[in-house]
Amino acid sequence: MRSDLAEVFAHLRREPEEGADPVSAMRAMVEGYGMGCIGAGLAACRVMPVQIGAMAAEWLVPPAAGDGRIVYLHGGGWVAGSLASHRAIAAELALLAGQAVLVAGYRLAPEHPFPAGLGDAAAALAHAAANGPDGPGQATRLALVGDSAGGNLAAVVALGLAPLAVVPRPDRVVLMSPFLAITPVAGGFAGEPDDPAVASDAMGLVAELYAPGCDPGDPAISPLLAPDALLAQLPPTLIQASATETLRGQALVFAQRAWALGAPLRLSLWPDLPHVWQAFIGKLPEADAALAEAAVFLRT
């Protein structure tokens, strides 16, 4: 294994602080997930805090931003992640795409279980449709991006399953290592993945924290199980996943269903990389390449 990849995998395998409860351990892990990696985007973008109801959010605005707007939903198993933890990756995407990115600080479980965070995600998209970083004004182009659990929220919102009366339809959707069902799903891959970030045996705990007592087959929780009629109307979507991560099967099954229905979905599979490798900007060349791929997709 390459030395840079070995270092990243060793970082992700580090043991949590002794005595830490599972939620605190997950939150600490997600805050330090990217090893402090940053790219040119963080220095180039203006950071503009905004309040959407009771939710804190922030715009990341690159120089000479175009008319498009992107909403970014961070990962963290629905219980972790913050504006700070994903600022660097969102800023890099803003710079590469040449569009302002709104990062949503949606409510987290277990303090705020399903559907609180989902409602916040939809509210962020509605806000970005009607407001830019400099004030009110309708978006001419609107995209939705999410990683891991944020990818789950993005998929649910894009499918029209969010608990809001009116949610705008995004023009483009990017899902990075998305969590598309709350239970493991096989999908044509042999062997158990070596994934230090998302362990199959821990998925039940995360699901119980996020959606206690809920039906795991509810497509608002597991969008992989969305009805054909909704999946067929999916906006143009790019899924990026590693062929060696636990959630790889979900990505493949979701893509196969979408393809069978004629939905405009692209699946970009990358070998030998960790879950949400895009966070390792400047450390893994594949992180830079994947963000560049996403930016091109968002611009076209």
Q: Hey, is 155 helix, strand or coil? A: helix
Instruction: Read off the pLDDT of residues 170-228 as tens digits, 9 standing for 90 and up.
Output: 999 999 999 999 876 655 555 567 788 888 777 888 889 999 999 989 999 999 999 99
Please give the single-letter amino acid code of residue 196.
Answer: P
Instruction: Read off the pLDDT of residues 269-281 as tens digits, 9 standing for 90 and up.
Output: 999 999 999 999 9
Q: At a CB cut-off of 8 Å and minimum separation 6, what does 159 contact? A: 219, 223, 226, 230, 231, 233, 234
Instruction: Read off the pLDDT of residues 37-90 as tens digits, 9 standing for 90 and up.
Output: 999 999 999 999 999 999 999 999 999 898 899 999 999 999 999 999 999 999
Q: How far apart are CA 287 and CA 277, in angstroms?
A: 6
Task: Give the global pTM.
Answer: 0.96
Three-state SS letters, 227-256: CHHHHCCCCCEEEEEECCCCCHHHHHHHHH
Instruction: Read off the pLDDT of residues 4-52 as tens digits, 9 standing for 90 and up.
Output: 999 999 999 988 777 778 899 999 999 999 999 999 999 999 999 999 9
Q: Are 34 and 89 in contact (CB under 8 A)?
A: yes
Other CB atoms within 10 Å distance of the CB of residue 4: 13
